[in-house]
Amino acid sequence: MENPIKKTINGIDVYYIISDKFKTITWSLVFTHPQGLEKINEYYFLSNALVDNMKKYPSNVIKYRYLSSLYGLDAFGSATSIGANIVNHFVITYPNEIYLAEETELSKKAFIFLNEMVTNPKLRNGMLTKKVLKDNLDEAKELHKILKSIKDMYSYYRFSKVFYQDKPNLQYNFPENDLLDNVTQTSLMDTYKSLFSNDAVSIFVTGNFSEAKFDEIIKNNLNPMIKNHLVKKLKKQYPYNKNNEVKVIKEYDEVSQSRVFIAYLTNVEYFSELHPAMAVFNSVFGGFDQSKLFMEIREKSNLAYYVDSTYIPDENIVVCSLSCEVKNETLVVEKIKSILEEIQKGDFTDELFRQAKDSCVSSLNWISDSQSQYLLQHIKAFHTTDKKYDLEDRINQYKSVTREAVIKVANTLVLDTIYMYTKAGGSND
């Protein structure tokens, strides 16, 4: 993959990832907020409110008619966390004009549209409208109702609440249901204004384009409202302690089967030298359909309906999740602990080790097939390490992972939380 080009234009950090792999151009206008979760819902709401409430295009019909003239330009916003910061992305994707006969102004028009989307929303009396706020609150509350109705999703949500209860200021739920009542027109508008008064701003562009041409587009069309401010970009700091006191929590509901989550902390950091080994360990452990957890607990012992593990690198955690009969809860938890101990001692086959590495490399190759995912990896890398995301180098690192490295990272795991979402009156009460 091509090397990113970093430069500063009109005071904004700009990153060009020039590649002829894609037939489209994608821009991402990124706002990084100072640390703090008190306005998490406001940031989340702005992702939709700005995209859907443009002053210049007061109705969807008018907006989509214009987007059709831009060859079906797609625009969206999202809020996410990178490290200990909340980040808003405003993204546009459109066909590359080099493939369109006699079209030379598409990228300029698209960038102007992106600026309009962020800087010129519909306002009433200097505020985002009551309807915008109500629509977003109603949607957030409806999402929570849907979440509660789907037991697998709601059990994970409850697990996350338990996991984070002794880790203040580290949980990022979008939306955050517990804070919905704090959102007002004033807080939403104040948060919108803070995009331009407090935030670090950067622009990422990927596709096959002329660097000089895009320099001119940004220089001549970046809205002066958009200014870069110094924001400290922080990593999440989890309390890693080998003598950690384990939380064991049961919560009860009218369910036919138990959902169990087991969370382990690690001190292997995102994009660190041992990060690839931890990803391969996770595949050996429970990350794909030939893993030890899947084969030994589900296939051979029939103790669970499903079982897997997930490595979440930007949170330094590995989470095992499973669904089983209530009577098997304790047995399955002990079995998972035993399987981890086996891996820590090197008890896994060379064939499984090879399959695990192949699975990880396949997942990485998928990134190169998705322009938006490829761009997001660059954003995360520059945010957390101030270095480029080199996909080919990452693939080679994964291919070079050794059994010894897998054993090493497996031995960093510290059990933090066992959470059971189960049926009252079960045999394990």
* Domain 5-221, CATH among 2.40.50.140, 3.40.190.80, 3.30.830.10, 3.40.50.2000: 3.30.830.10
Cite the beta strand spans of 96-242 per DSSP E. 200-207
The domains spanning 5-221 and 247-423 adopt the same CATH topology: yes
Tens-digit pLDDT string for the chain (429 aa): 467 889 999 999 999 999 888 899 999 999 999 988 899 999 999 999 999 999 999 888 999 999 999 999 999 999 999 988 999 999 999 999 999 988 889 999 999 999 999 999 999 999 999 999 999 999 999 999 999 999 999 999 999 999 999 988 888 999 999 999 999 999 999 999 999 999 999 999 999 999 999 999 999 999 999 999 999 988 888 888 888 899 999 999 999 999 999 999 999 988 889 999 999 999 999 999 899 999 999 999 999 999 999 999 888 999 999 999 999 999 999 999 999 999 999 999 999 999 999 999 988 887 777 788 888 888 888 888 888 787 788 889 999 999 999 999 999 999 999 999 999 865 544
* Cα–Cα distance measured from residue 206 to residue 214, given in angstroms and rounded to the nearest whole number: 11
Query: Model confidence over 231-285: pLDDT tens digits?
Result: 998 888 888 888 889 999 999 999 999 999 999 999 998 888 999 999 999 999 9
Q: What is the pLDDT of residue 374?
A: 82
Of 413, 81, 151, residue with least CA distance to 262: 413
Q: Which helix (H) or strand (E) holds 47?
A: helix 40-52
* Cα–Cα distance measured from residue 268 to residue 345, given in angstroms and rounded to the nearest whole number: 19
CA distances from 377 to 2, 8, 92 (A): 14, 20, 17
Residue boundaries of the structural domains of the chain: 5-221, 247-423
* Cα–Cα distance measured from residue 397 to residue 206, given in angstroms and rounded to the nearest whole number: 24
Q: What is the pLDDT of residue 369?
A: 76
Query: Model confidence over 328-351: pLDDT tens digits?
Result: 999 999 999 999 999 999 999 999
Q: What is the pLDDT of residue 429?
A: 44
Return left, alpha or beta for 82; rule: phi > 0 is left, psi -120 to 50 is alpha, else beta.
beta
Task: State the architecture of 247-423 in CATH terms.
Answer: 2-Layer Sandwich (3.30)
* CB atoms near residue 258 (< 10 Å): 24
Quickly tell me which residue has 């031995």 as its tokens.
411
Residue 36 burial (10 A CB sphere; 0-12, 13-18, 19+): exposed
Quick check: pTM over 0.85? yes
* Cα–Cα distance measured from residue 415 to residue 301, given in angstroms and rounded to the nearest whole number: 23
* Cα–Cα distance measured from residue 257 to residue 151, given in angstroms and rounded to the nearest whole number: 10
* Cα–Cα distance measured from residue 393 to residue 406, given in angstroms and rounded to the nearest whole number: 19
